[in-house]
Chain A
Amino acid sequence: MNVLLDHLPEFRAGFVGTVSLTAVSAAIALVLGILIAGFRVSPVPPLRFLGTAWVALLRNTPLTLLFLVSAFIVPEILFPGMSPFVLGSLALGFYTSAFVCEAVRSGINTVPLGQAEAARSIGMTFSQTLRIIVLPQATRTVLPPLSSIFIALTKNSAIAGAFSVTELFGVQKLLSDQGYDIVPIFIWVACAYLIITFSISGTFRLLERRMEVAR
């Protein structure tokens, strides 16, 4: 009980760290994921290949390895002095984008082919067809898997703690090193994670219900 009250600033910093890490990497994953999904269904073979390679590479690489690359190799070779937070967000965002891509692609596949054919037959380009006709209709199908992906992302963000990003799970190590009992620390950390993940699933349930009315 005391652990939380005595170390509220640390818990708060960790909570804010996890929330911002999740939010930033979710934004990166969403933008990249939709873009790569577009590549994967594109009529241009090199783009399709790029999309397939992106998914195969990032989905099959252990997340810890991606963090290692982004924490030690990227700043060494490409961007020296980049903050651990940005590097961590990039690693998480890139990794998650592969899963977002596949969820979006499965959504695209549920939209009847005739919708895209009708769009093309009135002269829309591929990207117009995707943006204006197909993706809006795919959104509803994509929401439930997307919700799961973002909850997984929240929990995956704990790995960033090992690469000097301030986040929730790192609080546990900080405080247990100071000699506090590990059990209550874990309970409070778990509660904080639950607040975030429940907010995500709640938001998505709301979105789903709103999309239902729009039809």
Chain B
Amino acid sequence: MPMSGVSVTKGAEDAVPTGGDLVVLSNVNKHFGALHVLQDIDLTIARGEVVVVIGPSGSGKSTLCRTINRLETIDSGAISIDGKALPQEGRELARLRADVGMVFQSFNLFAHKTVLENVMLGQVKVRRADKKAAEQKARTLLDRVGVGSQAEKYPAQLSGGQQQRVAIARALAMDPKVMLFDEPTSALDPEMINEVLEVMQQLARDGMTMVVVTHEMGFARSAANRVVFMADGKIVEEATPDEFFNNPRSDRAKDFLSKILHH
């Protein structure tokens, strides 16, 4: 009798959130071969909350972000979104992913489609929206992120900052319940970082639930409701930005902050 397996599935049912909790990770573990990248992760994200995940390279923060829409599978534990446990690969998972926006470090815009088509595609093919309505919504979103004039171009013709803003518009076109940002500014030239951060700031002010993995401490200070500090596959510290940056509790966080803030 596999006792541990039974208790894990039971735990998953118990972990179904109620009320304000949108994303709940409980006791999540993941290995890459011998490397234990996520160790007993417990994290709850409330509706409308902006959570910024920071930490040194290889701490597992990107992996954490990718497990939330199951681009990475987990070995044990449970993840639920809006009260529903993440299903197995298949149609049901696809439906759930449509409700979770994802923005990648390397943009990943569809290279063979124009900017406008990139933002329309999910609405038409996944939401089965009318083409006209989808185009109108896409143009509105592109205007909102400031790349409306680039609609007919292909992604390769845009700057990195523009591409990333299109990627945000593409995710927003699905009316997601939560947006995941996996190091959205790490592949950008310095002068383009702010144009992307401004779009994200606006999104946060509009009340979008966001999980942001980033190295931008300025953004964490100004936009986050909560900072989650990860190191070596564990959540070491969780605090408000003020608490975390002015008065970190753990030595690991103090060490990390001293390395990045004193230049």
| Per-residue contact bits, chain B 165-186, to A (CB 8 Å; 1 contact, 0 not) | 0010011001000000000000
Asked if A157 CB lies within 8 Å of chain B CBs, one says no
Contact status B94-A120, CB under 8 Å: yes
Chain B CB within 8 A of A114 CB: yes
Selected interface stretch from A7-15, A70-78, A82-90, A124-132: A124-132
Does B76 reach chain A (CB closer than 8 Å)?
no
Instruction: Please tell me the size bucket of the interface on B.
Output: 20 to 34
Q: Does A46 contact B (CB under 8 A)?
A: no
B154 within 8 A of A: yes
Q: Would you call A121 and B121 a contact (CB within 8 A)? A: no
B261: interface (CB < 8 Å): no
Q: Are B106 and A114 in contact (CB under 8 A)?
A: yes
Chain B proximity mask over A122-142: 1 for CB below 8 Å, otherwise 0? 111110100011001100000
Decide: A119 near B110, CB < 8 A? Known: A124-B125, A125-B94, A132-B121: yes
Q: Tell me how far the C-beta of B73 lies from the nearest C-beta in chain A, rounded to whole angstroms.
A: 11
Would you call A122 and B104 a contact (CB within 8 A)?
Answer: no
Point out the residue from A117, A126, A136, A215 that lies within 8 Å of B104, measured CB to CB.
Answer: A117
Which parts of A192-215 form the interface with B (CB within 8 Å)?
A: 214-215
| Docked-complex contact B126 and A124, CB < 8 angstroms | yes
Nearest residue (CB) in A for B100 is A121
**Nearest Cβ in chain B — how far from A43, in angstroms?**
5
Residues of A within 8 A of B98 (CB): 122-123
- CB pair B111–A137 under 8 Å, yes or no, is yes
| CB pair B108 A118 closer than 8 Å | yes
CB pair B108–A114 under 8 Å, yes or no, is yes
Query: Does A164 interact with chain B (Cβ within 8 Å)?
Result: no
Given A43-B89, A132-B125, A124-B94 contact (CB < 8 Å): yes
Which of A115, A118, A215 is packed against the most chain B CB atoms within 10 Å? A118
Residues of B within 8 A of A114 (CB): 104, 106, 108
Chain B positions within 8 Å of A133 at CB level = 110
In A129-169, the 8 Å CB interface with B consists of 132-133, 136-137
Interface residues of A (CB under 8 A from B): 43, 112, 114-115, 117-126, 128, 132-133, 136-137, 214-215
